[in-house]
Amino acid sequence: MNTSKFNLQKVVRKNIAALKPYSTARDEYTGTALVQLDANENPYSSIDGKHYNRYPDPHQLELKQVVAKLKGVSESKIFLGNGSDEAIHLLYAAFCEPASDNIIICPPTYGMYQVSADTHNVACKEVRLTSDFQLDTDSILNSIDAHTKIIWICSPNNPTANALHTKDILKIIENSACIVVIDEAYIDYSSQESFTALLDRYSNLVVMHTFSKAWGLANIRLGMMFASAEIINIINSIKLPYNISGLVQEYALEVLSNPAHIALKNKLVEETLQQRKKLSAELLQFSDVVKIYESDANFILVTIKNARSVYESLVKQGIIVRDRSGVILCENSLRITIGTPEENILLVNTLREILA
Ligand SMILES: *Cc1c(COP(=O)(O)O)cnc(C)c1O
């Protein structure tokens, strides 16, 4: 089923639709070569004597095969980027005409959607979440105009930690002619199903995942975007040719091909969920803690009296949390990542001293 209102040709920028993408040496010859003299590489070796002298696969086919299995999404519907941030950047470049198009965000939410909009000179319409941090679907749908290209939905949402209602998200996907991005960076910690299961049903749906959180690979910078093959083709046509280094492809393949690593990831997610419950219960013992919001992520948003001064006292003790007090609807709130059991105990003990 195609989303009836959505027409990709109307959403993509005209210059991008007409673009003739850069063709790499790797694109122009794909067989195995006896002598490879087509890419101006150093033919001997990398200077460390290893094999990094050759350009990597620009399409990351081997890695995509592993990701496809892991996520149950076919390779043609996968884009791999230098973190989710690259995917965010490329969505603007592909679909948003600078100084003319606009996008919708739902604050309080992840800051990169707005920063990237500003970078691309794309107007950012804000439709606040409701007081229980859910989507105001009617206002969102009413805010769409002929120049609205993307609606950004983060679920579970950062910094509020909660998952957004599936029926609300569906209402927006089904009733809009623009691209709807669901950023599911924290999906591994959530009790909700991923929207990747609905990719075949909705041609305007884009889902983003990352290896930076539950997979413990923030350092290697590897993000995933899932969408129709048509949308992925457009994104591939404008990405930097070799956007994922050979080192990262090699390393991710090794990590993700090992069943023991997958098992450990699942175990650590379980442990984080247990710690989330334990830490939340302990924090609620403090009379200064006003509220802890429902979490579907590996962090909690805690409303606490004098949040700024609590934050500063924690910093003095070497414990760093994120002060979100300045964020709309998050007054006097700290965003706390769930740490190891030892780190969480240290946090609670330090807070006990500070609040005494
Ligand atoms: C952490 C996070 C990401 C991950 O970004 P990467 O660039 O993949 O590290 C994406 N979206 C949200 C909302 C996040 O909090």
Distance 186 CA to ligand 1 centre (A): 8
Q: Residue 299 pLDDT > 70, yes or no?
A: yes
Residue-level pLDDT at 32: 86
- Mutation to probe ligand 1, out of 160, 183, 206, 215 (largest number of atoms < 8 A from CB): 183
Question: Is any ligand 1 atom within 6 A of the Cβ of residue 83?
Answer: yes
Report the range of poorest mean pLDDT among 27-31, 154-158, 217-221. Answer: 27-31
Neighbours of 108 (CB within 10 A): 21
Question: Is any ligand 1 atom within 6 A of the Cβ of residue 108?
Answer: no
Residue-level pLDDT at 30: 85
- The number of the ligand 1 atom at minimal distance from the alpha carbon of 218 is 9
Kind and range of the H or E run holding 348: helix 341-355
Question: Is any ligand 1 atom within 6 A of the Cβ of residue 183?
Answer: yes
Residue-wise burial string across 124-137, b where 16 or more C-beta atoms lie within 10 A, e elsewhere:
bbebbbeeebbbeb
Distance 45 CA to ligand 1 centre (A): 35
Task: Please tell me the residue having the least CA distance from ligand 1 atom 15.
Answer: 158
Distance 212 CA to ligand 1 centre (A): 7
Task: Please tell me the residue having the least CA distance from ligand 1 atom 3.
Answer: 185
Q: Which residues lie closer than 8 Å to 42 by C-beta, 6 or more apart?
A: 53
Rounded mean pLDDT of the chain? Answer: 96
d(CA 43, CA 286): 65
Instruction: Give the confidence band of 174 by pLDDT, cuts at 50, 70, 90.
Output: very high
- pLDDT digit string, tens, across residues 8-17: 999 999 999 9
Residue-level pLDDT at 33: 86
Q: Which residues lie closer than 8 Å to 112 by C-beta, 6 or more apart?
A: 84, 85, 88
Instruction: Give the confidence band of 29 by pLDDT, cuts at 50, 70, 90.
Output: confident
Rounded to the nearest 5 percent, the helix, strand and coil shares of the chain are: 40, 15, 45
Percentage of residues in the chain having pLDDT higher than 70: 99
- pLDDT digit string, tens, across residues 131-147: 999 999 999 999 999 99
Instruction: Give the confidence band of 1 by pLDDT, cuts at 50, 70, 90.
Output: very low
Q: Residue 108 pLDDT > 80, yes or no?
A: yes
Question: Is any ligand 1 atom within 6 A of the Cβ of residue 185?
Answer: yes
Nearest to 336, CA basis, from 271, 265, 279, 267: 279
Q: How far apart are the first and last CA of the chain?
A: 59
- Mean pLDDT along residues 116-135: 98
**Alpha carbon 141 to chain centroid distance?**
23
- pLDDT digit string, tens, across residues 240-285: 999 999 999 999 999 999 999 999 999 999 999 999 999 999 999 9
Question: Is any ligand 1 atom within 6 A of the Cβ of residue 116?
Answer: no
pTM: 0.96
- pLDDT digit string, tens, across residues 212-232: 999 999 999 999 999 999 999
d(CA 186, CA 199): 18
